[in-house]
């Protein structure tokens, strides 16, 4: 029994490589720590739980930053920046687009109102991706382990949101031409295409409410019934936060699908206090 407790204790320990002088500096802060002379004396099992010292990590990152800075400087000597003439307020170009890191937001403007595409949706996605590691139910993985085997839920959700964002960037950069009209890669963007005239439809207000009630009910109830152990592991608070974030994230491709396949402009459209709330 005692050997099992010692083995469990060693497994949870984090071994940091440092010199004797550095140990004298930090030993008063970490009173439960023990100093072991030499890094080479650790067993391979102990080395798996070893964290590199700060100076080693900073050194590697500093060298990498210098290398990439040099590459960018050399690249800038042979490639001109895409600067244009001064903006003319009376002449708006048809093919004006944001920088690549904002093109995803510009692409969302095609499917959502500006207050949703520019503020609400990006804020929810960023906050959701930030809190995902804290929702992860794997207690043994701890901090600093981000493999798929150790944290399948957090990694899968993050990869989905990450891929969705870059798909929007790729579509906005390479598949949009003048007037934000869709162009295939083999089509000439110098030839201005007329925007297709499509009659858009909206859900009835009762249908919109019914859609959202049914959708969020399915997202909350079904995983709880199918993955009972998942619900027990997370707990009620983390479970509802997780499924709510995932439901909101899935609404984006669902809305895009309804827009292209069924020409649905708004699932729910409300007029409250002379303000239009449309989704």
Q: Could you tell me which residue, 250 or 193, shows the higher pLDDT?
A: 250
Q: Are 276 and 270 in contact, with CB atoms under 8 Å apart?
A: yes
**What number is the average pLDDT over the span 212-226?**
89
What pLDDT does residue 267 have?
A: 87
What pLDDT does residue 9 have?
A: 45
**What number is the average pLDDT over the span 171-184?**
84
**Residues 21, 107 within the same domain:** no
Give the separation between CA 245 and CA 192, rounded to whole angstroms: 40
**Residues 154, 248 within the same domain:** yes
Domain for residue 38, yes or no?
yes
HEC per residue, 46-67: HHCCEECCHHHHHHHHHHHHHH
3-state secondary structure of 265: strand
Q: Are 201 and 102 in contact, with CB atoms under 8 Å apart?
A: no
What pLDDT does residue 15 have?
A: 57
Dihedral (Cα; 72, 76, 82, 87), 10-degree rounding? 100
| Predicted structure pTM score | 0.66
Closest residue by Cα to residue 136 from 12, 229, 234: 234
Q: Name the token pair of 230.
A: 């998942």
Task: Provide the pLDDT confidence category of residue 146 given band limits of 50, 70 and 90.
Answer: low
Over residues 61-114, the pLDDT tens digits come to 888 899 999 999 998 888 877 777 777 888 777 777 778 888 888 888 888 888
**Residues 268, 205 within the same domain:** yes
Distance, CA of 137 to chain centre? 19
Task: Provide the pLDDT confidence category of residue 29 given band limits of 50, 70 and 90.
Answer: low
Q: Which domain holds residue 7?
A: 2-51
**What number is the average pLDDT over the span 215-237?**
84
What pLDDT does residue 151 have?
A: 74
**Residues 149, 255 within the same domain:** yes
What pLDDT does residue 145 have?
A: 60
Over residues 35-67, the pLDDT tens digits come to 454 444 555 555 554 555 555 667 778 888 999
Q: Is the pLDDT of residue 200 over 90?
A: no
Q: Count of CB atoms within 10 A of residue 117's CB?
A: 19
**Residues 126, 215 within the same domain:** yes
**What number is the average pLDDT over the span 198-217?**
88
Identify the H or E element spanning 40: none
Give the separation between CA 33 and CA 259, rounded to whole angstroms: 59
Cross-strand pairs, 16: 51
Give the separation between CA 250 and CA 248, rounded to whole angstroms: 5
**Residues 24, 138 within the same domain:** no
Q: Are 13 and 49 in contact, with CB atoms under 8 Å apart?
A: yes
**Residues 220, 106 within the same domain:** yes
**Residues 137, 265 within the same domain:** yes
**Of the residues 13, 31, 51, the one at which a domain ends:** 51
Looking at the structure of the chain, the number of domains it has is 2
Burial class (CB in 10 A: 0-12, 13-18, 19+), 224: middle
Tokens 């720590």 found at: 33
- Contacts of the segment 213-217: beta carbons below 8 A, 24+ positions apart: 215/247, 215/251, 216/244, 216/247
Mean pLDDT score of the chain: 76
**Residues 162, 46 within the same domain:** no
**Residues 113, 10 within the same domain:** no
Most confident of 35-39, 163-167, 180-184: 163-167
Over residues 227-257, the pLDDT tens digits come to 777 788 778 888 888 888 888 888 889 998 9
């Amino acid at each position: 029994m005692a050997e099992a407790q010692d083995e469990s204790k060693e497994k949870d320990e984090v071994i940091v490589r440092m010199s004797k002088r550095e140990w004298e500096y930090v030993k008063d802060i970490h009173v439960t720590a023990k100093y072991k002379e030499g890094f080479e004396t650790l067993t391979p099992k102990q080395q798996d739980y070893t964290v590199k010292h700060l100076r080693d990590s900073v050194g590697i990152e500093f060298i990498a930053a210098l290398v990439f800075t040099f590459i960018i400087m050399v690249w800038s000597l042979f490639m001109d920046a895409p600067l244009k003439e001064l903006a003319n307020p009376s002449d708006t170009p048809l093919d004006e687009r944001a920088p690549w890191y904002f093109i995803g937001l510009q692409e969302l403007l095609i499917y959502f109102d500006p207050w949703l595409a520019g503020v609400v949706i990006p804020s929810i996605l960023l906050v959701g991706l930030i809190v995902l590691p804290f929702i992860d139910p794997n207690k043994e993985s701890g901090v600093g382990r981000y493999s798929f085997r150790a944290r399948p839920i957090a990694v899968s959700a993050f990869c989905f949101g990450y891929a969705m964002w870059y798909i929007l960037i790729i579509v906005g950069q390479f598949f949009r031409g003048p007037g934000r009209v869709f162009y295939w890669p083999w089509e000439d963007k110098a030839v201005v295409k007329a925007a297709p005239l499509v009659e858009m439809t909206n859900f009835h207000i009762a249908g919109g409410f019914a859609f959202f009630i049914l959708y969020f009910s399915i997202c909350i109830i079904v995983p709880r019934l199918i993955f009972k152990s998942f619900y027990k592991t997370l707990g009620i608070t983390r479970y509802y936060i997780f499924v709510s974030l995932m439901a909101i994230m899935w609404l984006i491709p669902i809305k895009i699908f309804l827009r292209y396949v069924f020409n649905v402009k708004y699932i729910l459209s409300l007029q409250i206090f002379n303000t239009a709330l449309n989704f």
